[in-house]
Amino acid sequence: MTTRIYACLVGLSLVIGGCTGNPGGEMAERCSRGLATANGELRSARVRGLSGTANWSKAASLLTAAKVQYEFEHYPNCVEKVQRARVYLSRLRR
């Protein structure tokens, strides 16, 4: 009887332990990398004196919203906002 209880507890702990892994996986990594890249592009645009433009402001707002999505683990929304922000940032390079 004690062996069965022990086996059940071990099995239960393995199941619970498996659930605490990396919850976001690839999407979390894409969001994190995208935020880092886009924030670098945003800083670069600011240094070039483009921080007063509408595209810069839109990109900055989207990246702020993406960071919030990242913090709340809404990774698909984060990735989408980063992609939209990078479109605005690419317009600044033209």
Q: Give the tens place of pLDDT for each residue, 15-48.
A: 444 444 556 799 999 999 999 999 999 999 999 9
- If you average pLDDT over residues 43-65, what whole number do you get? 94
Comparing C-alpha atoms, which of 29, 26, 43, 23 is closest to residue 85?
43
34-46 burial, b at 16+ Cβ within 10 Å, e below that, comes to bbeebbebbeebe
- As a whole number, the mean pLDDT across the chain is 84
pLDDT digit string, tens, across residues 61-72: 999 999 999 999
CB-count exposure of residue 28 (10 Å: 0-12, 13-18, 19+): middle
Whole-angstrom distance, CA of residue 23 vs CA of residue 92? 35
